Amino acid sequence: MTSSSMVKLKGVIASPGVVIGKAYLLDISKLHVTRKRIPPEEVDKQIKNFIEAVSRTEKEIMRVKDKVHQEMGEEYANIFEAHLLVLKDPLLIFEVSERIKKEYINVEYALWEVLEMITENIAALDDEYMRERVVDIYDIGRRILENLVGTTSVTLQELKEDAIVVAHNLTPSETSHMYKGKIIGFATDIGGQTSHTAIMARALEIPAVVGLRDISFRVKSGDILIIDGSHGVVIINPDEATIKEYENKKRLFDEFKAGLAWLKDLPGQTNDGYRVDIAANIELPEEVEVVKNEGAEGIGLYRTEFLYLDRTDLPSEDEQLKAYQEVISKMKPYPVTIRTLDVGGDKFLSHLGTPPEVNPFLGLRAIRLCLRNKEMFNTQLRALFRASTFGKLRIMFPMISQLEELRQTKRIIEEVKQELKIEKVCFAHDIEIGVMVETPSAAMISDVLANEVDFFSIGTNDLIQYTIAIDRINEQLVHLYNPLHPAILRLINYTVESAHKRGKWVGMCGEMAGDPLFTVILVGMGLDELSMSSGSIPKIKEVIRSINITEAKELVHKILKLQTTSQIEEVLKEVMYKKFAHVLEGEKN
Amino acid sequence: MNTTQIKTNSLQQAIIIKNKLGLHARAAAAFVKIAHEFQSKIHLKKNTNPGWVDGKSILSVMTLEASSGSQIIISAQGPDAKQALNKLIQLINNKFGEKE
């Protein structure tokens, strides 16, 4: 397909900013498969990898099929039947295994050759409908390849010049190379605002749009692209007038960013001297440099899922220790809050053998899963305690919904401490232990929980989803997902009060903490720490440094009396736009 | 693609493809899906062609190019060969459930 005329696509906003540049198509099936010879003893392992990748792909397609069935009906879901049959095709498995065995080649290349052979056969058919199926077969091949690269390596490191990466999807292992690469923006077919790719893009401050459906089919490497991350728009092969228009937008956005840059080394402190710690959320040790550059005074949330996902075994204690130690020692003397494994919901570990759930967000996730897999939990806690001597560590537990869970968790911590003492392994004795407040139940019993923890961290993404009872990924319900629902504000306010009464501190690490619209309310409620994507830090500091704590408290007082979300939104916007239009509008240019 | 030796102890039946589109992708998928329901080995070929293809392989069945009006031979070998053959014949006779 040629794409010389201008095409405008709309996707999901992942990371703000505008960038104009050349596309680099990360088409795994075409660009990254190279023939490698493997030693004879590797043959079995390569075949095993292939079979595992096929079965992971099958599960993925089953999930998509079920979703399509629910949303669009059986007829559409049947489209995936053919996909599943291709995956189960004995020919595919047989041919790929044979090639690995006979030619001693790597599995990716063997798969690629077999796909070529199959599609050539189909393309030769005198039947247009059949020829169109070639696309389906490539799609399946690509999915299998994606599931294979979790165990092999596809890198973006080889980029020689600045490029906008276009891909079907980016796996965590690919995004991890972005630090060293020359990536100035990216666009993907799939993904939502809270997907891994989107979080990473915000952390790196690279404009990005995700959920574009088929951009990886429309673009070829070298095409000129405009990414408008603030509006979720991508333009392929823009004409000259459009380039001019966006160059102007880019200049405005960059000026806005530069205008806030001086705030980096200043604390989050109000005019009248009230101090709020500004911290950053991270997923990977490599992010620490970016985060420090933006002026974070700590890590308020280090998500440890990355260590566990995209692999077939569990990370060892030493491997985890290495990652934790790197973050903790690089951030020293600032604190690092590490959240223990939070999978389930929308992220899964296939090797734990957890059966599929009808309602995974209300299922065996986070702390519930860890308490059921004690050995895995023990390994993570041991790694955390061993890492604690390298700086200031805080540990927090996700999805606590009752006091018993906290007590059980603390008993396990005591066991780990005893183990380490017997083994004469050193660990810090001032590690703070906290829980995430992300279920309405935890917020309601925060007075009780506060007696037995050192701190709380409010996870607003889940708290909103569970309180208002809406699936935050469901596009039909987006309008109901609003942090300003009176119930959410009351729960946050109550949690802070409960903690402060008992001399404990409260942080917030959800998306709400990084949105300047809410900053005055959060400061007024008394949040002690706000943790966010590092890109939001200057904006939030700008707001905090221009207000007084007394006026923030007055605003909270007024807003808590209002009855509806829309009233609250109206009052808040009026106040905020009067004073902070430049911050709220700034990144919308 | 690879062809397979068909052993003598199999049940075989010849049938004419009657639906308008022939054994195209969707029809091939329906065929293979049923073939997978049985333990027996299923193979098929066009009567004009010497090569048998694996009836459980969608890619092979799709590339058989059995268009409307062509005769194919289905072979089933195994404990449930008879049931498999019956169900596959029924599928083809019902024109794969297509409305015409």
Task: Dump pLDDT digits (tens) for A67-112.
Answer: 767 766 676 676 677 778 888 888 888 889 999 999 999 888 898 8
Highest mean pLDDT out of A221-235, A393-407, B47-61: A393-407
Residue in A338, A346, A345, A343 with CA at minimum distance from that of residue A361: A345
Using the beta-carbon criterion (under 8 Å), do B59 and A127 form an inter-chain contact? no
Using the beta-carbon criterion (under 8 Å), do B59 and A91 form an inter-chain contact? yes
Helix axes B25-36 and A79-88, enclosed angle (nearest 10) = 60
Lookup result for tokens 């010049």? A161
Confidence class for position A120, pLDDT limits 50, 70, 90: confident
Using the beta-carbon criterion (under 8 Å), do B25 and A126 form an inter-chain contact? no
Distance CA A351, CA A330 (A): 32
What pLDDT sits at residue A463?
96
Higher-confidence residue of A219 and A345: namely A219
For chain B, counts of helices (H) and of strands (E): 3, 4
Distance CA A511, CA A509 (A): 7
**Test mutation, B20, B53, B54, B62, chain A, max A CBs within 10 A:** B62
Distance CA B12, CA B18 (A): 19
Distances (CA, A) of A467 to A79, A499, A568: 36, 20, 17
What pLDDT sits at residue A130?
66
Mean pLDDT within A446-454: 98
Tens-digit pLDDT profile for residues A197-220: 777 787 777 899 998 877 887 888
Mean pLDDT within A22-31: 69
Confidence class for position A355, pLDDT limits 50, 70, 90: confident
For all residues of chain A together, what is the average pLDDT? 86
Closest Cα in chain A, distance from residue B32 (Å): 7
Distance CA A549, CA A568 (A): 20
What pLDDT sits at residue B64?
84
Lookup result for tokens 């006979």? A102
Mean pLDDT within A170-176: 60
Using the beta-carbon criterion (under 8 Å), do B59 and A86 form an inter-chain contact? yes
Confidence class for position A3, pLDDT limits 50, 70, 90: very low
Among all residues of chain B, which has the CA nearest to that of A132? B25
Which pTM value belongs to this model?
A: 0.64
Among all residues of chain A, which has the CA nearest to that of B4? A91
Interface A:B, Cβ pairs < 8 A: 55
Higher-confidence residue of A535 and A506: namely A506
Looking at chain A, how many residues does it have? 589
What pLDDT sits at residue A206?
87
Higher-confidence residue of A382 and A69: namely A382
Within an 8 Å CB–CB cutoff, is residue B54 touching chain A? yes
**Test mutation, B58, B65, B70, chain A, max A CBs within 10 A:** B58
Q: Are the beta carbons of A48 and A96 closer than 8 angstroms?
A: no
Q: Is the pLDDT of residue A29 over 60?
A: no
- Residues within 8 A of B (CB atoms), A 79-98 only: 81-82, 85-86, 88-92, 94
What pLDDT sits at residue A83?
79
Q: Is the pLDDT of residue A64 over 80?
A: no
Q: Is the pLDDT of residue A125 over 80?
A: no
What pLDDT sits at residue A18?
93
Tens-digit pLDDT profile for residues A460-502: 999 999 999 988 766 677 788 899 999 999 999 999 999 999 9
Q: Name the residue type at position A211.
A: G
Closest Cα in chain A, distance from residue B57 (Å): 5
Q: Residue A506: beta bridge partners?
A: A456
Confidence class for position A33, pLDDT limits 50, 70, 90: low
Q: Is the pLDDT of residue A353 over 80?
A: no
What pLDDT sits at residue A495?
98
Non-local CB neighbours of A316 within 8 Å, separated by 6+ positions:
A379
Tens-digit pLDDT profile for residues A313-328: 789 999 999 999 999 9
Confidence class for position A151, pLDDT limits 50, 70, 90: very low
Highest mean pLDDT out of A20-34, A206-220, A442-456: A442-456
Within an 8 Å CB–CB cutoff, is residue B57 touching chain A? yes
What pLDDT sits at residue A31?
44
Distances (CA, A) of A142 to A11, A26, A263, A313, A377: 22, 11, 45, 23, 34
Q: Is the pLDDT of residue A16 over 70?
A: yes
Distance CA A137, CA A218 (A): 18
Tens-digit pLDDT profile for residues A517-573: 999 999 999 999 999 988 889 999 999 999 999 999 999 999 999 999 999 999 999
Using the beta-carbon criterion (under 8 Å), do A126 and B29 form an inter-chain contact? no
Q: Is the pLDDT of residue A1 over 50?
A: no
Strand order, beta sheet including A7-10: A7-10, A233-236, A224-228, A18-25, A163-167, A183-188, A208-210, A12-15
Tens-digit pLDDT profile for residues A251-288: 988 888 888 888 888 999 999 999 999 999 998 887 88
What pLDDT sits at residue B2?
38
Q: Is the pLDDT of residue A154 over 50?
A: no
Higher-confidence residue of A212 and B24: namely A212
Q: Please list every residue in chain B whose beta carbon sits closer than 8 Å to the beta carbon of residue A133.
A: 25, 62
Residue in A27, A246, A237, A56 with CA at minimum distance from that of residue A115: A27
Higher-confidence residue of A203 and A225: namely A225
Mean pLDDT within A400-414: 97
What pLDDT sits at residue B4?
44
What pLDDT sits at residue A577?
93
What pLDDT sits at residue B87?
94
Within an 8 Å CB–CB cutoff, is residue B29 touching chain A? yes
Element (H, E) at A525: helix A519-525
